[in-house]
Amino acid sequence: MRRALFMLPLVVLTACATPREQCISEVTRDTRILSSLINETRANLARGYALGERQEIRTLRETCRGRNEDGTTFTFRCDETETFTTTVPVAIDLNAERAKLDSLEERFAQLQAASNQAVAQCIALHPE
């Protein structure tokens, strides 16, 4: 439910984008994703480890209230389960991470050239 509420403003903003902006956003999507992956890989190399997420479950013991049919109230022990996410360090192979970075940067350079041409086509198709 929270995810849906979080995504709602993004959907509204996307609907307000001009056709030119939508076209440019669509053709540059892969380069934005690769750029994000490159930044993450560089940060991993700088730290010497990656960051992973782990979900943990915690049980909270609480006192709950109930109501009888005659209207009187009573208390009882009840458990509430809470799930939360923590960030944990993850060991990585630095040599493999460097090779991954080189590969991502090479692919980014290829996509950037194609993306620039596609952006120029979007501008030509949708002049403002």
pLDDT, tens digit (0-9, with 9 covering 90-100), for 28-59: 999 999 999 999 999 999 999 999 999 999 99
* 80 and 67 within one domain: yes
State the Cα–Cα distance between residues 16 and 27, nearest whole angstrom. 18
Mean pLDDT (the chain) is 87
Q: How many residues does the chain have?
A: 128
* 100 and 124 within one domain: yes
Is residue 10 domain-resident?
no
Domain span at residue 72 reads 51-90
Model pLDDT, residue 94: 96
**For a pLDDT cut of 90, what percent of the chain falls above it?**
49
What is the number of domains present in the chain? 2
Is residue 35 domain-resident?
yes
Residues 6 or more apart in contact with residue 94 via CB below 8 angstroms:
45, 48
Phi/psi of residue 8, each to 5°?
-55, -50
Is residue 12 domain-resident?
no
pLDDT digits (tens, 9 = 90+) for 66-119: 888 898 898 889 888 999 999 999 999 999 999 999 999 999 999 998 888 888
pTM value > 0.95: no
